[in-house]
Structure formats: structure tokens, C-alpha cells
Amino acid sequence: MDLSSAVTTTAATLRQRPGDLLPFYFLGTAVPVIARVGMFVALVGMYFHFELTGRLADARAALAGTDLSPPDPQNPEAMQAWAESVEPALSPLASPTAILLLVAGVLATALIAVLAYAAISAGQLSAVAGRLRGERGLTAGIAGVRGRWLSFLGIYVAELLVWTGASLLGAAAVAGGFAVNPFLGAAVALGVLLVGFVGLLAVRIVFAFAPAAIVVDDATAFEAIAASVGFVRSNPADAAAYLVIAIGVLIGTGSAASGLAYLGAGAVVALLSAVVVAPALDVLKTALYGDYRDAVVPVPPPATGPIDQFRGGVRRGWVELLAFVRRSPGAHGVSVAVGIGFGALGWVAADPLVGAVTTSIESRLVGHVPPAAAVNFFGNNWGVAIATATAGVALVIPALSSIAFNGVALGATAALESNLLALAAFVLPHGVFEIPALVVSGALGIRLGVVSWRTFRGRLSREAFANALENAFWVLVGLGILLGVAGFIEGFISPYYWRPFL
């Protein structure tokens, strides 16, 4: 298969039944939500520790009447005086138990993130390989999570060790050169840079195809690395072309992200990178490697054009969204209860800071650029909805923690707002679309968690789990419609309509 055929296969695979592949890439955006459960548990433990030992009451008493607004950073004396005034309020919170819980939370978060990334990556590439073999992608992906996560973890650890070893070796060579003679050190440093650049390309291209080797050959980590080396040696042109495409895409998305971030709309690029660019590159490299192993079944192009397919997808998303809301009132009730409960908790928790710390909706809207803001609001909110819903696969808890986190943030922001009426006026027009959409995403996460648990217990088949994931994909498409409307209103209407009256 030449590169042109591989690109055609990639496009056809992504367009032919996207709901059978993209849910795993939606799930990839949930890794931070899943991982932060470790920190969330640690923070809850710290809160109870502070409350039960009286340290929280001491901190609240010390905060009373303290101005927490930091002075001008350019005035070191004022900064020092401010730090000394705040220190008595913070010192009760710096207990050994709290520090231990905080460190444990950080370590747990990092460990969960690594394991979740390995497992989800195994599912993504297994789904891709399944589609290229003519199988159902989601079923293959679910099997891949369980059977191949350790192999994926192995190649990530191996690449990290290679980079660490190469960096230490290069640093030692440069240090040795400078120890002998400065000119020799400079020459060695230049040589290390040149060799390092070539080595970087070689290592990256080998490890780029190692995941494809795992899922195509059903190989272990070391077998996959060896097979990837064989592929690169046998097909240097295809491997180099893939590397050029991947680097070009990386530079292009980075440039787009920088430009849109300057305008305040970087969130949509991050979302598109995760759910469009990443699967396209995965399909491309797996198609190239799979053809090398004679493991690719030709994928026919979709019967409809892109515009008709987009319209049909929007209609299906809306229909599936309405159907899900009708058939799952219990999950929606839990989502609403958690959101309201933790919103109230955020309001109460922020009470000691009222007056000392203030937020202002008017100040946050300074420099507001409506088109860029609308795109950014849409990308950010849809990303949150996707991550919240798909994180529920990890047995519900991450989805509930995401709802709780957003509830606390909203409650605390409202409690500290200097003009609560203006904040309410700002939120109302787009909130009637955005808040229900986020509630539905929480309910969808609960539903996926229940299905995941029943599958784990053997009460549901992988096929049933795959059906739930595909249905969730289309529900999230429907939520994208709601959040697109909310983003437009939040960008163009919410910041302005109330100003003549308030």
C-alpha cells in the first residue's frame, strides 16, 4: 500500500461509521478527569482532617478581617508584608498529615493518569486495527483494553528509558569534553546535537509504529519494538513520509492553537486534535503497518457525500439525545442532585473569603471578542461534556467527581461575585442550554459507568458495552448542538444585553 492509498483508507475508515471508532478517542479526553479522582479523594481527606482537628476553624478565625488581595508584585516590601499577614491563617493547614495526603494525592493522580492513558491507547489502536480488518471497532477496542494495556505501558516505559539514557549519555559526553578543553567541549556538544537530532527521528519513528505492531501482530512490547524496526528497515519511504506528515500536522495544529489562543479560542483546537487529528494519524500508521503484514481489508468509501453525512449525523445525534433524556430520569436526577449539592458546598466553603477575595463578571469580560469567544466557549464546554460523560466508564466515580468539581467552582464563583445580579443576567441566556447539557453529560457518565460495571461483572457482553459506547457517541453529538447554540449566545448576546439595565 502506497502512502496515497493509506491516506484514502484513513479517510474512508473515519467516515464509515464514525460511531464505531471515535468513542475511544472521546474517552481519551477523559484521562485528566479520571486521574484527578486521586487528588479529589486526597482533598476530601484533608478537609475532614482540618475539620476534625479544629485547624479549619483556626484558619477561618485568622482569615477574618485579613485582606487576601495581593499587592503590586513590583513592590517587594508590600509583598513581604502581605505574606506575613497571610501566614498565620495558612500555618494551621500545614500539618504533616495534610502534607502526606497531598503528596499521596499527587502520586495517585500521576499513577492513574499513566495507567488510564496506556489502557485507553490500547483500546484506540485495537479499535483501529479491528476496523481495518473488517471487524467492529468498539468490540475490538474493548478487548484490547483488557488484553493489551500492559504492552502499551511497556513501550511507553521503554521509550522513556531510551530518552533518559540518551540524554544522560549526551550530557556526560559534553561534560567530559569541557573537562578536558573548552573547545573540545564545544565540538562534542555540537556533535551530540547533530547525532541527537538524527537519533530523535529514528527513535520516534520506531516507537510511532510499535503500537500498531502490538495490535496487528498481537505482540508484546519488546516484540512490537523489534517488529517496528523491521517495518522501518523494509519500508523507509513510507515510514519517513508518515513522520513528515505527523510533524507537519503537529506544527499546523500548534500554529493554529497559538493563533486561536491569542484570540481566546484555543480550546476548540485542543478538542479537534484529540478527536480528529489523533485518530487520523493512528489509522494512517496502522494501515501502513497492517498492509506490510497483509492484515488490512479494503474499506469502501461511504455511500453519501460529506455534507449529507454531516446532516444525517446531526439529525441522529439530536434524536439519540432526546431518547436518552426520556429513558434515564434516574441518572439525570442523580446528576442534578450532585451538581446542586456541591454548588451549595462551594458557596459555603467560599464564605470565609467573601470580602477578602472578589470576582467580577465585568472584569472577566474586558477584551471580549465575540467570534473567538463563542468558538472557545463551544470547544471548552463540549470538551467538558465529552470528558465528563466518557470518564464514567471508569465505574461512575470520575463522572460524579467532574459534576461535583464544576458545581463547587460555580458555587464559589457566585459567592465571591461582586455583582451577583450581573452574573445571573450574564449566565441566564446561554445557561438554559449549557447547564442542562452538562447535566445530561453527567447522567450519560453514570449510565456508562453502570454498563461498564455490569460488563466487568460478566452480566453484559462486550457487544452490549460497545452498543452503549456508540449510543453515547451520538448523544454527545446531540449535546454538541446544544452547546454550539449556548456558545453563540454566550459569545454574542450574554455579555451585552443586560448592560443598559444593570
With 70 as the cut, is the pLDDT of residue 264 above it? no
pLDDT score of 357 more than 90: no
pLDDT for 84 beyond 80:
no
Confidence of residue 443 (pLDDT cuts 50, 70, 90): very high
Mean pLDDT of 157-177: 91
Nearest to 401 by CA among 347, 453, 335: 335
Determine what percent of the chain falls in helix, strand and coil, rounding each to the nearest 5.
85, 0, 15
Closest CA to 120 of 98, 142, 95: 142
pLDDT tops 70 at residue 65? no
Q: How large is the average pLDDT for residues 155-184?
A: 90
Percentage of residues in the chain with pLDDT exceeding 90?
Answer: 66
277 compared with 62, residue with greater pLDDT: 277
At 183 the pLDDT is 86
**Diameter of the chain measured on Cα atoms:** 77
Residue 218 corresponds to which amino acid? Answer: D
Whether 69 shows a pLDDT value over 80: the answer reads no
C-alpha 406/C-alpha 43 separation (Å) is 15
Q: What is the pTM of this model?
A: 0.92
pLDDT digits over 16-26, tens only?
Answer: 899 999 999 99
* Residue-level pLDDT at 82: 75
Helix (H) or strand (E) holding 128: helix 96-132
Q: Which of 260, 250, 389 is nearest to 332 (CA)?
A: 389
pLDDT digit string, tens, across residues 287-316: 999 999 998 887 888 888 899 999 999 999
* Cell numbers for 46: 484533608
Of the pLDDT bands very low, low, confident and very high (cuts 50, 70, 90), residue 263 is: low
Section 440-451 average pLDDT:
97
- At a CB cut-off of 8 Å and minimum separation 6, what does 191 contact? none
Condensed to tens digits (0 to 9), the pLDDT of residues 452-482 reads: 999 988 999 999 999 999 999 999 999 999 9
CA distance 422 to 446: 34
* pLDDT, tens digit (0-9, with 9 covering 90-100), for 478-493: 999 999 999 999 999 9
The number of residues making up the chain comes to 502
More confident: 75 or 247: 247
Q: List the single range of 57-61, 176-180, 276-280 with lowest mean pLDDT.
A: 57-61
Contact status, residue 217 vs residue 223, Cβ threshold 8 Å: yes
For 8, 17, 23, 438, 467, the CA distances from 138, given in Å and listed in that order, are: 22, 11, 8, 25, 8
pLDDT at 266: 72
Please choose, from the candidates 397, 399, 373, the residue with its C-alpha nearest in 3D space to the C-alpha of residue 388. Answer: 399
Average pLDDT over residues 8-23: 93
Distance between CA atoms of residues 43 and 32, nearest Å: 16
Residue 272 has pLDDT above 70, yes or no: yes
Crossing angle of the two packed helices 306-327 and 420-456, in degrees rounded to 10: 90
Report, as an integer, the average pLDDT of 37-56: 90
pLDDT score of 309: 93
pLDDT of the residue at 4: 85
% residues pLDDT > 70 (the chain): 97
